[in-house]
């Protein structure tokens, strides 16, 4: 997407990695202000069509191809993945915090909505998430911490009002993670995104090929299961 990175799935670790609490922020940094500014800066600002390459490693089974992401404001995304021989591999729509699957798709293969949005460079924690605070990141930027309704924790790494990564933590361990490259300033979308499901040994890497701003998208694309 200017560098894309939509749906990404994956894992490459035999067990979930530990998630130590982030270090304290410098005085004067207000987490809510950072969250609001990043949300506004990364919100989808118009209709786009993104073309990308994708590679899935599912417990050693490797497959890949090309895909298309169609985006519309404020938070709508339609994702279509195709294999190298042109067959449809996956179809899903993301509307705010709701994932709508195409027929035959398995729900457990789809990352949580906040991580899907993060793979597109968008900060959207969702209605069920509440901002807990923030801490210093291991590297540039800060970690925004959100509590989830089921007791888990969601963390976004942000810098210069851009999303650099996100992870879901349960029981003190990272269980799912997204990392993105690029996607700041004039590069509206990440150049590359990598999603890992650390328990399922599944990893999806998406590399942006092209970005096009388009007039609009048909309403029916947001309902792939119909």
Distance CA 81, CA 103 (A): 14
Task: For residues 58-76, give the mean pLDDT.
Answer: 95
> Per residue in 139-155, pLDDT tens?
788 999 999 989 999 99
pLDDT computed for residue 110 by the predictor: 81
* Residue 182's pLDDT band (cuts 50, 70, 90): confident
pLDDT tops 50 at residue 15? no
Q: Tell me if 162 sits within 8 A of 139, measured CB to CB.
A: no
> Per residue in 188-199, pLDDT tens?
899 999 999 998
* Residue 13's pLDDT band (cuts 50, 70, 90): very low
Q: What are the chain's domains?
A: 29-215 (2.50.20.10)
Mean pLDDT estimate for the chain: 87
Q: Where are the alpha helices (DSSP H) in the chain?
A: 31-42, 113-119
> Per residue in 99-139, pLDDT tens?
999 987 877 778 899 999 999 999 999 999 999 999 888 87
Task: For residues 173-200, give the mean pLDDT.
Answer: 88
Q: Which distant-in-sequence residues (6+ apart) come within 8 Å of 184 by Cβ?
A: 159, 160, 161, 162
């Amino acid at each position: 997407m200017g560098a894309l990175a939509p749906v990404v799935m994956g894992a490459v670790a035999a067990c979930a990695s530990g998630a130590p609490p982030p270090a304290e922020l410098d005085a004067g940094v207000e987490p809510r202000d950072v969250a609001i500014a990043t949300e506004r800066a990364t919100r989808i600002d118009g209709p786009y069509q993104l073309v990308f390459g994708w590679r899935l490693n599912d417990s050693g089974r490797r497959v890949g191809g090309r895909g298309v992401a169609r985006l519309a404001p404020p938070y709508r995304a339609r994702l279509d993945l195709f294999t190298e021989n042109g067959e449809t591999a996956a179809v899903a729509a993301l509307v705010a915090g709701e994932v709508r699957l195409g027929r035959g798709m398995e729900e457990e293969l789809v990352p949580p909505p906040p991580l899907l949005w993060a793979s597109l460079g968008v900060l959207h924690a969702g209605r069920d998430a509440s901002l807990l605070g923030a801490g210093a990141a291991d590297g540039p930027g800060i970690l925004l911490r959100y509590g989830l309704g089921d007791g888990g924790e969601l963390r976004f790494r942000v810098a210069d009002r851009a999303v650099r990564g996100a992870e879901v933590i349960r029981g003190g361990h990272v269980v799912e993670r997204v990392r993105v490259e690029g996607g700041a300033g004039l590069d509206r979308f990440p150049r590359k995104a990598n999603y890992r499901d650390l328990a399922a040994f599944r990893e999806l890497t998406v590399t942006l090929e092209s970005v096009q701003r388009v007039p609009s998208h048909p309403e029916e694309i947001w309902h792939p299961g119909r």
